[in-house]
């Protein structure tokens, strides 16, 4: 066990052999004492504790969860059931699998499971005031969520299928997608190949910047590039099951990844604070320009004394913008990046999407949000990409707000809860041959209609009261970007190269970068939007 502890500590940070030995010995001693002192609450009569693996006396199950945590917990759930308990260090963690069980917890018993655990890494996100990561789930949190939803709705209402108008989101995505078409073709002329992720992430971030701040950045803007290129540092530390969040001793050991995580959060918050300050200085109640202005408007409507209104709302707005902006660019970028990887892996699927686009939209105009209902195969592909990649394998951890019961198991208040979305998306009870990539699984027998009931079984954005507030606009962006790109371009890989779809585990599942993409122009849009 001492050897295992040393291995864990050594992987967490760069320390010498003697320091690791002393730390491991202290680690074992402290936790053995804590485990002896720790009293678990008694289980009420007629109920039981959730089953689960025993693990090591000090480390718990941390070693078996260190690699591909989503797969390890999915394997354990097949043995112990949809409600099980693992230990990370000495801390018990409830793990929920199975769609019915997760819906029961997050939807039917939503108030019981809507908390967030007070994890050390969460305290560095927006100075501990992030709506998404905050342990608070009371009236203040609900009010802030409502404000964010109102602001998002104001600038992203989809037009009806019969309307000739476009929404702001649609306009921004169309412009950025057209930029990508031009950029990819230019790269083909200059270098004959390209790596799409670095261009996708800036275009997607520009959409969020336009929505939140009313501005667009050039693709070589160093401030923006520094921000998006360091986002991986956030994912690595915020990954579910990070030992440093559960084993206090690890928080005091040198850790390069934690330092980068803290630096990123400080830089990101500073970046947002500067923009919010500019919005306050130029705010005009008769000209609400973007989401940040909308949030300022809502705060100022609360009739707070002028002297304090410019202080308290400013802090709240920065935190809300942090959540909207932070979630927006990463989720959509990963969805598009995974989509391109699947499209070059399965060229027949790419061809079917393009045939559908040709038949339903043609070559005279760009795709619009109102086209979604007439493009069932395109929508089915997006759902299958979400399901098969499951690039958000877990929700942000939940926590119980009171003692509760789930599937006959007693769950004490303040229990940390992991929701395994990857397991649901690959559950053989829900999906036929879940490891195969097959968009047709979401279509009716004749392929003319999307099966929405099956689509609702795919978990990516969570469920219940903590469901991602940006889900709708994320889905809209993925559709518009993909439809616009595939209408005009055909993607492939250089001869002799294959896409590697092996996921790399962190807060999200990323694929390895691929630098051998090619794009061929199918046709140029003759008309406008």
Largest CA distance in the chain: 74
Closest by CA to 466, choosing from 419, 422, 426, 424, is: 419
3-state secondary structure of 407: coil
Residue 329 CA to residue 347 CA, distance in Å, equals: 27
What is the Cα 49 distance to its own chain's centre?
Answer: 31
Which helix (DSSP H) or strand (DSSP E) does residue 18 occupy? helix 17-37
209 is an annotated ligand-binding site residue: no
Helix or strand holding residue 461 (H, E): none
Number of helices (H), then strands (E), belonging to the chain: the values are 20, 10
Cα distance between residue 267 and residue 279, in whole Å? 19
How many whole angstroms separate alpha carbon 156 and alpha carbon 170?
A: 8
| 49/127 Cα distance (integer angstroms) | 35
Q: What's the alpha-carbon Rg for the chain, to the nearest Å?
A: 24
Burial of 429 (0-12, 13-18, 19+ CB in 10 A): exposed
Is residue 407 within 8 Å of 83, Cβ to Cβ? yes
Residues 117 and 397: beta-carbon distance below 8 Å: yes
**Per the annotation, where are the binding residues for heme?**
468
């Amino acid at each position: 066990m001492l050897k295992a502890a040393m291995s864990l500590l050594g992987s967490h940070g760069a320390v010498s052999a003697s320091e690791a030995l002393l730390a491991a010995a202290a680690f074992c001693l402290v936790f053995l004492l804590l485990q002896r002192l720790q009293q678990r609450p008694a289980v009420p009569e007629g109920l039981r504790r959730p089953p689960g693996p025993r693990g090591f006396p000090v480390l718990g199950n941390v070693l078996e969860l260190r690699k591909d945590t989503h797969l390890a917990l999915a394997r354990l759930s097949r043995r112990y059931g949809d409600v099980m308990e693992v230990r990370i260090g000495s801390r018990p963690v409830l793990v929920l699998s199975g769609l019915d069980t997760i819906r029961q917890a997050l939807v039917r018993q939503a108030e019981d499971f809507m908390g967030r655990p007070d994890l050390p890494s969460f305290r560095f996100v927006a100075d501990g005031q992030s709506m998404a990561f905050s342990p608070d789930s009371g009236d203040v949190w609900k009010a802030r969520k409502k404000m964010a939803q109102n602001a998002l709705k104001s600038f992203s209402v989809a037009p009806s299928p019969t309307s000739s108008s476009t929404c702001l989101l649609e306009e921004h995505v169309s412009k950025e997608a057209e930029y990508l078409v031009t950029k990819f073709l230019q790269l083909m002329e200059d270098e004959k190949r390209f790596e799409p992720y670095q261009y996708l992430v800036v275009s997607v971030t520009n959409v969020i910047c336009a929505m939140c701040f009313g501005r667009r950045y050039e693709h070589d803007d160093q401030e923006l590039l520094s921000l998006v290129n360091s986002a991986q540092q956030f994912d690595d530390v915020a990954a579910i099951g990070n030992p440093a969040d559960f084993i206090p001793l690890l928080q005091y050991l040198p850790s390069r990844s934690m330092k980068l995580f803290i630096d990123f959060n400080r830089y990101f918050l500073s970046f947002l604070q500067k923009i919010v300050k500019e919005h306050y200085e130029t705010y005009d109640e008769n000209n609400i320009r973007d989401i940040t202005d909308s949030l300022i408007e809502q705060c100022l409507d609360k009739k707070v004394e002028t002297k304090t209104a410019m202080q308290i709302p400013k802090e709240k707005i920065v935190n809300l913008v942090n959540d909207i902006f932070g979630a927006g660019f990463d989720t959509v970028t990963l969805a598009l990046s995974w989509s391109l990887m699947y499209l070059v892996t399965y060229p027949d699927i790419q061809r079917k999407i393009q045939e559908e686009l040709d038949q339903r939209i043609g070559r005279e105009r760009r795709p619009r949000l109102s086209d979604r209902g007439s493009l069932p195969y395109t929508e089915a592909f997006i759902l299958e990409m979400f399901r098969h990649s499951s690039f958000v394998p877990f929700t942000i951890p939940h926590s119980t707000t009171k003692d509760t019961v789930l599937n006959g198991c007693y769950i004490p208040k303040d229990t940390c809860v992991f929701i395994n979305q990857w397991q649901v998306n690959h559950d053989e009870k829900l999906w036929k041959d879940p490891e195969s990539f097959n968009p047709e699984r979401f279509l009716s027998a004749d392929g003319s209609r999307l099966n929405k009931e099956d689509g609702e079984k795919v978990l990516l954005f969570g469920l219940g009261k903590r469901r991602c507030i940006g889900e709708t606009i994320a889905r809209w962006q993925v559709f518009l970007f993909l439809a616009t790109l595939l209408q005009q371009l055909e993607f492939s890989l250089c001869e002799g190269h294959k896409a590697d779809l092996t996921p790399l585990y962190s807060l999200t599942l990323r694929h390895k970068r691929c630098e051998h993409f090619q794009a061929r122009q199918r046709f140029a849009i003759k008309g406008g939007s």
